[in-house]
Amino acid sequence: DTGVSQDPRHKITKRGQNVTFRCDPISEHNRLYWYRQTLGQGPEFLTYFQNEAQLEKSRLLSDRFSAERPKGSFSTLEIQRTEQGDSAMYLCASSLQGAGGYTFGSGTRLTVV
Amino acid sequence: GESVGLHLPTLSVQEGDNSIINCAYSNSASDYFIWYKQESGKGPQFIIDIRSNMDKRQGQRVTVLLNKTVKHLSLQIAATQPGDSAVYFCAEAGADNQGGKLIFGQGTELSVKP
């Protein structure tokens, strides 16, 4: 296992388009987290899954954002009708319940033009 | 609300000197803390962690100190090297039975002068 993988690394999209990002966590980790990070700031929590269940969503996650983890393994984050304010680094992390081991992926850099 | 913050946004040190990066947290119930290093264009990289039942933990060239009385966390880097230049974040983990999500502070940018 090579850690947490995110795809794509970079995405440039026009305002109003939909985008989807993928995260593959460490295989034995049952928790998966999505964060958003803007320049000069720390990552901000968006949502997390325990196995396939989405158990918490931040109020930062507007109705245009949706995340899934259908089989409790990889996860996708979709942003509909993108806005310039969505431009950020989207980070995925995974951990093992009760044991921590939080590991982050390299992120997906989204630029909305 | 709960927050994790850093005292110094930037720190410049000479190569070979020791670095100290500080962090304050507000949730006295937090029991697990992590320091991350983030280089430009990359995700946060785990450096060292500490649980609230400890006040000091050492790794290779790094030491984390936890003062629960004043809710303060620090990261000490010995013999700082140019490769240590990055932004450093402390993070506070929420209760594991509530998902254990990490709450990050703003970060401190460490610049190492050769």
Q: What is the per-residue pLDDT across A55-109, written as a single tens digit (0 to 9) for each?
A: 999 998 899 999 999 988 999 999 999 999 999 999 999 999 888 779 999 999 9
Q: Which two tokens stand for residue A71?
A: 């089989």
Pairing of strands A88-96, B62-67: unpaired
Q: Is the Cβ pair B89, A42 closer than 8 Å?
A: yes
Q: Mark B12-39 as b/e (b = at least 16 C-beta within 10 Å).
A: ebeeeeebebbbbbeeeebbbbbbbbbe
Which pLDDT score, from 0 to 100, does residue B91 have? 94
| Residue A40 or A105, more confident | A105
Mutate to test the interface with B, among A31, A90, A97, A104 (most CBs of B within 10 A): A104
**pLDDT score of B75 more than 50:** yes
Q: Looking at the complex, does the CB of residue B88 fall below 8 Å from at least one CB of chain A?
A: no
Comparing CB atoms, the residue among A42, A95, A106 nearest residue B43 is A106
Q: What is the per-residue pLDDT across B25-43, written as a single tens digit (0 to 9) for each?
A: 878 888 899 999 999 989 9
Which pLDDT score, from 0 to 100, does residue A46 have? 96
Which pLDDT score, from 0 to 100, does residue B7 have? 47
What whole-number distance in Å separates Cα of residue B47 and Cα of residue B76? 11
State mean pLDDT over B3-20.
Answer: 80
State mean pLDDT over B17-22.
Answer: 96
State mean pLDDT over B8-33.
Answer: 90
Q: For a pLDDT cut of 70, what percent of chain B falls above it? A: 93
Q: What is the mean pLDDT of chain A?
A: 94
State mean pLDDT over A23-42.
Answer: 93
